[in-house]
Structure 1
Amino acid sequence: MSSLDELHLTEEPSFEELQNQIRTLTNLRNTHQATLLSLRSTKSLKDHISTVSASSSQTKTPISSSLQISDKNLNDILLTRSAELSKDHQEWTQEALSRMTGLSKFTVTDPSSSRDLTGIRIEVMADGKFGTPYYLFLKPYDETPKPTPEDPSPEEVPSTTHLILHRHTIPAYFIQPLNVLAEKHLPPPPQMQNLDRFVRDVRHFLVLHYLRRSRLTHIKDEVTQNLPDLNSDSDDAHTPNIYVSEFLMDPEARLVEIHWLDINDIHSSIKRQAWIALTEKGGIEGLIVKEDNQRILHMEMQIKGDDWVRGTTDSMDWTSGLFKRLRWPSHPL
């Protein structure tokens, strides 16, 4: 026997080494299996596994101290879970792409007619948080010819170039501007349509609405967090005698109503109220502050802020620090 053969024989692993390698690989496989299985609800997995294991008479392979399952069923579950994880990843990727672009287009089937609809997904975001997406569904314009004596029931002819708004998830208080934009940018044939402009204009007023609502909701939360505890006997030096008791806004976030109360006289007949009308961009369109039906001009100026003459109130910038400016002064300025 040559020295090369001897060297080759001496480098082959021993039986004990092979057993150790097999045990190591088996433990590694079991660890990965347990990790995959734990990616979903552990309880539902154990329930499913115990049901499958009870009906199987095959040899059991231990996965963990509390989990027993057959090799065949284990492979089936791992394949199923892998497919689910892959599908979840694809859905997550699609969700991320939709949010990155702000607008996305897709095709769905109308269950009532089995025809394809054009779907538009619109994303809105404020303060780094995404809101609930809105959806528009458009169907082909109906170009079916009118019935005639020769053809009383003409075959339906969907347009290949023109669309019409079919369904949507836009709030009801935006129906009027939505219909106006649809009439403007999606006219019937033979006029040209501009779907891109229609979708972008719709997204524009939805984003502005979300920004207004987000800013006003933040102020409303400040008001709620700073309401005095009227049942407490302790005096809070930080609570003004006259405090903001209510901060209300309409669904469009275009009208704000504010109420003040005197902490020392909750049931007082004196009414202190303010109304703020907002523009689409969130600026102040109108502002009235009254105390017993008398207009309080110094409070109106205080709410607007010091920079209102520089155009700050033309956008949402005026809302910065608004809660502090809502403090009712003890004496007129």
Structure 2
Amino acid sequence: MSSPPVPASPSDAGSSDGPDVEELQKQIRELTKIRNERQAELLSLRSTHTLKHALDTASSQTIKTSVPNPDGSEDPLQIEDTNLNTILLKQAADLTADKEAWDQEALYRMAGLTSFEVQDPAPNGGKLQGIRIEVMADGKFGTPYYIFLKPYDTTPKPTPSEPFPEKTSSSTHVTIHRHTIPSYFLGSLNSLAEKLLPAPPRLQNLDRLVRDMRRILILHYLRADHLAQVKAKVTENLPQNHPTPSEIPPIYISEFTVDPEARLAEVEWLDSQSFGVKRLGWIALNEEGGAEGIIVKQDGKRVLPMELKIKGNWVRGEADKMSWIDGLFDRLEWAIDT
């Protein structure tokens, strides 16, 4: 007589090659997510198709109503009104088109460059091509800059036979008409225009001019933003603003000024225990925000150890980048002990 089969122990069941429950649950969640996404796309397509189909097939029927007179006869005046459904559908389509246009404009503005056409307000002024350049830092837009272009004047020079030639304009070449670029970048703009917007018949490269000018403006905005943060820290640590004046060292940073181009910063240290003896420093920055030159003087003599501390022990080439400004305030304070 054979013995009954022995049931499998829990340890034996766990060692079987059955499917992994966690893996199956993960696959189910992924498939559910894909199904929900497809359903949302299907609903969107259906609503779009319904709106377009209704606009295409909406009839131009009118509702005619007669206004009865007090004696019961109908007034020959008839009031006509367009189908309200058609009006609502048309308004919905217009709103959709407006939103798409707004989204497209927002996308262009996020790219930082927008081109548009405006009318020259001057007498007999024609169409102008406008270019808006926008820069941002820390998620905030700065002041936009504008460049307005007009067609290149190709009017021939007066001659004895034709002293008053007819005015003509180029259909392919443009020149800068007006702009809001800061005055300290006027040299850069004129140089780019001379190089990239030559007179006919030479080819122009407007895209390159706009890109190069935008790069100059972005670097300026970033330099100014970084230096403004340093200036804010200096202001916070002045004796009149410090929460614990007793912790202020005898020599402290009393002033930090930046030029409009954000290429030169002037620093002043004040020694409160030596009858107001001052140290003056100048920090010149390159276009990328790196250290181009540092000079510190006291009593008309340079303080070289202090200059080296301000520059810091950077790997070769790293002091030429914008990140050099990030720790500038700490290095300015650390250099005081020299």
TM-score of Structure 1 vs Structure 2, range by shorter chain: 0.5 to 0.7
1:145 counterpart letter in structure 2: P
Matched residue type, 1:321: G
d(CA) in 1 for partners of 2:290, 2:226? 12
Quote the Cα distance in structure 2 between the aligned partners of 1:105 and 1:171.
Answer: 20
- Contact persistence 1:242–1:328 (CA under 8 A): no
Who is 2:119 aligned against?
Answer: 109
- Sequence identity (%): 58
Q: Which residue of 2 aligns with 1:264?
A: 273
Output one character per residue of 1:69-102: Cα deviation in whole Å (capped at 9) or x when no partner.
Answer: xxxxxxxxxxxxx9xxx79978964662342111
SS in 2 for 1:118: strand
Give the whole-Å Cα distance in 1 for the aligned partners of 2:98 and 2:233: 38
Match of 1:315 in 2: 321
Q: What's the TM-score once normalised by structure 2's chain length?
A: 0.66
Deviations 1:155-182 (A, max 9, x none): 2111001000110000011111100000
Q: Structure 1 CA distance, aligned partners of 2:335 and 2:231? A: 20
Q: Give the count of matched residue pairs.
A: 246
Q: Distance in 2 between matches of 1:170 and 1:164?
A: 15
- Decide which moves more: 246-255 or 97-106: 97-106
Q: Tell me the distance in 2 between the aligned counterparts of 1:330 and 1:153.
A: 72
Aligned position for 2:300: 293
Cα distance in 2 for partners of 1:329, 1:180 equals 40
Give ranges in structure 1 of 5+ residues lacking alignment.
Answer: 1-81
Structure 1 residues 166 and 148: alpha-carbon distance in aligned structure 2, compared to 1, 3 A threshold? same
Query: 2:154 aligns to what?
Result: 143
Partner residue, 1:171: 182
SS in 2 for 1:326: helix
Residues 162 and 235 from structure 1, CA distance in 2 versus in 1: closer, same or farther, beyond 3 angstroms?
Answer: closer
Query: Which residue pairs with 2:85 in the alignment?
Result: none
* Higher Rg of the two aligned structures: 2
Q: Letter of the aligned partner of 2:190 in structure 1?
A: N
Question: Offset at 1:206?
Answer: 0.8
SS in structure 1 opposite 2:313?
coil
Offset at residue 199 of structure 1 (A): 0.6
Could you tell me which amino acid in structure 2 is paired with residue 274 of structure 1? Answer: G
Normalising by structure 1, what TM-score? Answer: 0.67
Per the alignment, residue 191 of structure 1 pairs with 202
Unaligned runs of 5+ in 2: 1-90
CA distance, structure 2, for counterparts of residue 88 and residue 173 of structure 1: 39
Aligned to 2:74: none
Other structure's SS at 1:214 match:
helix
